[in-house]
Amino acid sequence: MFSKLLKYELKFVGKWYFALNTGLLLIAALLGFVIKSLDTNPQSMNEIIPFFLFLILGALIASSWLATITIIVKRFYSHIFGREGYLTLTLPVSIHQIIISKLLVSVLWSIFNTLVILISIGLLFLPSVGIKETLIFLPSINDVLPFNNLLLLIFYTFMSNISGNLLIYFALSIGQLFSDHRILMSFVAYFSIIIALILFTTPLLEKFMPYDDLFSTPFFIYYILAFVIESSIFYFGTAYIIKNKLNLQ
């Protein structure tokens, strides 16, 4: 049944989402060649063309990011707190399976969206820099970011993604504790938690993490542990509210 939940979640995303991200990559590639043309022959093209292409690219990046967030929020809210809530909660699966299935798919779309944005940024500079020069530059990354730290960076990004999605779920769940203005209270809960985390973690980081250690091994370990703790609180808090405090209207 858990595998069916995953398949159902994956099928929700329509062709428009992939078309949006494909358009982002195409515009980025086109703009990359425009930038190269302007570098080699500044008089060959009207300067207003790259300006409009940058505007379109920025709009597509923002739209892609907002679309991903919308998918994450809508799938969780509508399936648990919306009209489909009764059906979802009567399925022969546990609350944990429901949350985990939605979390896994949300993380998948978040990673997909991040990769598309990073690739589109790379396509902006690749025509000007060249593939050969890029391949020559890649080994030097190890001098700036050693392999061990690169693995920690990947795990850091992964745990940050999980924590961020679970925070959205937790904030939406907190909003359901109120009788009125539940969506508004979810927003309030979301930003309140973020502010509280910043106020709590920043002094600790400044006290135990010297400035020279930023993006070092201790830095990544500190934040990975913080994300694990935050994710645990958000996850079990969400599960508790859904199981014991949920009052669907």
Question: Is 168 buried (19+), middle (13-18) or exposed (0-12) by CB count in 10 A?
Answer: buried
Would the pLDDT of 170 be above 80?
Answer: yes
pLDDT at 83 over 80: no
Q: What is the pTM of this model?
A: 0.83
Mean pLDDT of the chain: 81
Question: What digits encode the pLDDT tens for the residues 127-144?
Answer: 776 676 666 666 666 666
Q: Which residue has the tokens 């400044």?
A: 206
Work out the pLDDT band at 71, boundaries 50, 70, 90.
confident
Q: What is the pLDDT of residue 194?
A: 94
Higher pLDDT, 89 or 115: 115
The alpha carbon of 104 is separated from its chain's Cα centroid by a whole number of angstroms, namely 12
pLDDT tens, position by position, 220-245: 888 899 999 999 999 999 999 998 87
